[in-house]
A and B are shown apart, each in its own frame.
Chain A
Amino acid sequence: MSARLGIWLGLFGLTLGLSLTSLGPDWLRVYPDAWVLPLKDSISGAMKWLVEQANFGLFTFTQATRGLAWLIEQPYNLVRNLLESGFMDGVGRRAEQIVPPVSWLAVIAAVVALGHYAKDWILALVVGLAFTYLAVFGQWESAMVTLASVLIAVPIGVGVGLWLGILAYRHRSFELILKPVLDLMQTIPIFAYLVPILFMFGFGPVSALVATVIYAMPPMVRITIMALHGVDPEVVDFGTMAGCNRRQMTWRILIPAAQKHLMVGVNQVIMLSLNMVIIASMIGAGGLGFDVLSALRRLQIGKGFEAGIAIVVLAIAIDRLSQAFAERAGRITAKPTGPLWRRYPRSTLVLGVLVITGLLGLVWPVFQTFPERSALTTGSFWNDGIKYLNINFFDTFEAVKLFFLNFFMLPVKRFFLGIPWPWALVMITALGWRFGGWRLALMALVMAALIVVTGLWEKAMITVYLCGASVVIASVIGIPVGVLAGVSARAGSVIGVVIDTLQTLPSFVYLIPVVMLFRIGDFTAMVAIVAYAVVPAVRYAAHGVRHVSGNLIEAGVVCGCTRTQILRHIRLPLALPEILLGLNQTIMLALSMLVITALVGTRDLGQEVYIALVKADVGRGIVAGLAIAFIAIIADRMITAGAKAARIRYGLEETHG
């Protein structure tokens, strides 16, 4: 064991030496442009052919994508007209509004009614206040555009996910094909498919919706498969004995019995959609995400912050509502009887508010739209606050930033950039072999080599450095916090609330306050990534430490271990596999933050994707996206293999499983 450790330490020392001494010719460090394979041009060419010439006999590729776009656009336009713009007659400037959108009062009445229906008056109050906030602080229209996107993306994501899940449940072979695809989709960052979608569907809400659905659907498929397999086998047997055919079995037995778990999937789809709808504003989603994005681009801190808070408020309101619905699914209440308005008091009320405010709105516009003049703005407050902080504490912030930059980030950066790429390939292969045998070694080598030959090596190393540094910091903060949460119940409940809230926030939001304090640059990017990626480190560590078998703890206590000894000798080693999986998730989240941090001027693969997005350069976008995906896959496979080896060592998993 120690001999092996020695070898690895030696190899690391050698790498460090090679990195610092810069021996040998330049091409060892900077891959020469002349050797770059023109992969991105080929991909651009192929996409161009696909869009301009591909023909499936009956229809062309473009017709297919346009047809699909049209199909998605219809319900989207309907909902958007309903919520935001109203129904128009004519086009362009001469368009006249024939029916106004649903008034803000009616929307608030509707969410309050939903809150009361799903749970109680407290929830009704919370969501009502959230939506009132959106109106009062002048975010109404953008929020309604975002809401419209979510309202369309979620049913599609849930429906298609459910359908795929049912298919996979019914046909074992389909599940075997689907599983690796889902795994891959989870490791490939969203940005890898933003550009091709942009190319196929054009800049606009439809592209954004397609990207959102693709991003938000995989957990639904997974949860559906799991929930259906999790249905009590006796209940399935009962269904068979009652003589259900396949359709009856699915819709009358399996789906209702799995309803509670399925609702968790729906909640996941909603949260991911909300997260993505904002990222998707880069390809034309509009709404709150666009507000944040444009404010960030112009460094209008106050405005960006306001829109960011609006996103958080909307996300929390929708999350609480959908969670309440998920819990309600297990609860059945007797149906009241009587006339229609008595049976549906809430719907009647909302309908009443809708009609009355609609009519009143024709005379007094305040009932229709919240008057812009009365809208509160906190923009200047935030601007002043930032100004105050920057004037008075500039030196402190600067000192912190410089300290991290000089003593942590820059050395790490120099180390990664200094490694000669041929040696790096050797090391990656060796690591792959160490964790997962020759298969993983080969895969790691091929993927790393592809990054090299496409000329992205330098940017990939910056990516690795940025993510690596962030992951280290996230782990240093997250794992101890998680362990604390796992050991102490009281700390656990407090930390749980904080973590839940952090997870509800879309990734975008993290950027805003950090930019305000540290301005643009790598350090800002790192702080934002850490804030976003720390969640799984905490969660998995807490879970791992908490779920060590009670017998083992008792055995430790009987042996006379102190609490510290129990933690050190029993809980931590046994929680190691879980902690590793948390680390894995942290890396994935860090990588998925990349394109967002590109907004603050990093020079990594995220920037490459971002540039490709702006220029609509498909080949460049796909190649850079794939490079991120390759890094993610290599890290994922190595850590998963390591975690599995640890589980096998502790006898928590069978050798062959």
Chain B
Amino acid sequence: MTKPAKLACKALWKVYGDSTAVGHVFGAEIFPPDSSVLDNFGLIGAVQHASLDIAEGEIFVIMGLSGSGKSTLVRLLAGLIKPSFGEIFVDGQDLLKMSEKELIELRRHKMGMVFQHFALLPHLSVLQNVAFPLIIQGMDKPSAQGRAAEVIKLVGLEGREHYFPRELSGGQQQRVGIARSLAVEPELWFLDEPFSALDPLIRREMQDEFLRLQAMLKKTIVFITHDFDEAIRLADRIAIMKDGCIVQVDTPEGLVLDPATDYVREFTRHIPRDKVVSIGAIMQQGDGAGDGIPASAPIAEVAKQVVASDVPLRVIDAAGAPVGKVDREAVIAVLVGE
């Protein structure tokens, strides 16, 4: 990524256990401590040596099974819990060196978060829930509610402003959660398994909704999920976590084509490659016929066109210049899963 990192962390650790032992481990000369050292001190490394650079406008997905430390990592990045060791930068500013007051200001204006179980305030109406972060900032009530009404419209809940959370379905509640997190126009948007508590059908609908919103708003997003399909569908880049460690950070295509470990391979195995791998990955040198297929297009999208053609087709880059050709055999090889 060439853009400057909007959110970054370096050698971030969160270790649970006896506090003097924690001090001892990170005061030691051997760094980073390995898991046997942690075990010796009876410590549990929820997040171990995490380093990430998340670019502005990127959808960055952190994927892992339960207990992998993904929720802890996002809470560290959002400043909800303090790390045992390491640094976190927001726009190049060290989050851990900020005073409580600066942190509150940062949260009020730059950050928004969506929660797995929605975390709506049961005693407030939809409108009041969405306006809540604005009221907390000290905005006057009419402007806060005006702004809240706008965001509610944005997430498609118009007309339900005066409902209470328990009167809404799960999907609608999460729309309120999303509206609320967007009300302050945050630059950083954290979503902690936002769709995991929803039915599969609703989940798909909400994913589309999420992509639609992001196409409009272009936030910098950290998205947590345990669902690899969801990660593939939404992510620009994915970080896969296991036992507190980040195993691999790559684009969905990169993960599928070049899994770093057997663990990652296990995840990618059932992913239909034609939907993830782009034409660029299977094109050959030379030039082909036709107007040109974009190299970044997933194979599934153009498979029909390529297979229908008797001759190899031309592949072009983003600027429209020819960069290679792709033929029927290459596409079929991917489709039948070789």
Q: Chain A residues in contact with chain B, CB under 8 A?
A: 232, 234-235, 237-238, 240-245, 248, 252-253, 256-257, 259, 330, 332, 334
Contact = CB atoms under 8 A, between A and B. Distances in A.
A253 to B, nearest CB: 7
B121 A253 contact: yes
Interface of B: 75, 78, 80, 104-109, 111-113, 115-119, 121-125, 132-133, 136-137, 162, 164, 181, 190
B107 A235 contact: no
A240 B125 CA distance: 20
B136 A243 contact: yes
Nearest to B137: A243
A332 B121 CA distance: 12
Given A232-B119, A256-B123, A330-B122, A242 B136 contact: yes
Contacts of A240: 80, 107
A243 B105 contact: yes
A228 to B, nearest CB: 15
Contacts of A256: 121-124
A241 B123 contact: no
Contacts of A234: 115-119
Contacts of A242: 107-108, 132-133, 136
B113 A238 contact: yes
Nearest to B103: A243
Q: Which of A238, A240, A253, A332 has the most CB of B within 10 A?
A: A238
B80 A332 contact: no
Nearest to B105: A243
B104 to A, nearest CB: 5
A330 B165 CA distance: 12
Q: Which 6 A-B pairs have the closest CB atoms?
A: A243-B108, A234-B119, A243-B107, A242-B133, A238-B119, A241-B113
Nearest to A242: B133
A248 B78 contact: no
20 contacts: A232-B119, A235-B119, A237-B119, A238-B115, A238-B119, A240-B80, A241-B107, A241-B113, A242-B107, A243-B105, A243-B108, A244-B136, A252-B136, A253-B121, A256-B121, A256-B123, A257-B122, A259-B123, A330-B122, A334-B162
A524 B125 CA distance: 57
Contact of A241 (B112, B117, B164): B112
A252 B119 CA distance: 14
Contacts of B136: 242-244, 248, 252
A330 B164 CA distance: 11
A237 B105 contact: no
A237 B113 contact: yes
Given A235-B121, A257-B122, 9 more contacts: A234-B116, A237-B119, A238-B119, A242-B108, A242-B132, A243-B108, A243-B136, A256-B124, A257-B121
B75 A237 contact: yes
A619 B113 CA distance: 61
Contacts of A235: 119, 121
A245 B133 CA distance: 12
Q: Which of A241, A330, A332, A334 has the most CB of B within 10 A?
A: A241
Nearest to A255: B123
B285 to A, nearest CB: 51
A253 B117 CA distance: 16
Contacts of B162: 334
A243 B104 contact: yes
Given A234-B115, A252-B136, A334-B162, A241 B78 contact: yes
Contacts of A252: 132, 136
A243 B119 contact: no
B140 to A, nearest CB: 16
Nearest to B116: A234
Contacts of A245: 104
Nearest to B100: A245
Contacts of B75: 237
A241 B137 contact: no
B108 A232 contact: no
Contacts of B121: 235, 253, 256-257
Contacts of A332: 123, 125, 164
B70 to A, nearest CB: 15
A460 B309 CA distance: 103
A241 B80 contact: yes
A252 B134 CA distance: 13
Contacts of B108: 242-243
Contacts of B123: 256-257, 259, 332
Nearest to A245: B104
A241 B122 contact: no
Contacts of B190: 241
A202 B123 CA distance: 45
B54 to A, nearest CB: 17
Contacts of A248: 136
Given A242-B136, A248-B136, A332-B164, A232 B117 contact: yes
Contacts of B116: 234
A257 B165 CA distance: 13
B80 A237 contact: yes
B133 A243 contact: yes
Nearest to B115: A234
B215 to A, nearest CB: 24
A238 B125 CA distance: 16
Nearest to A260: B122
Q: Which of B123, B132, B164, B181 has the most CB of A within 10 A?
A: B123
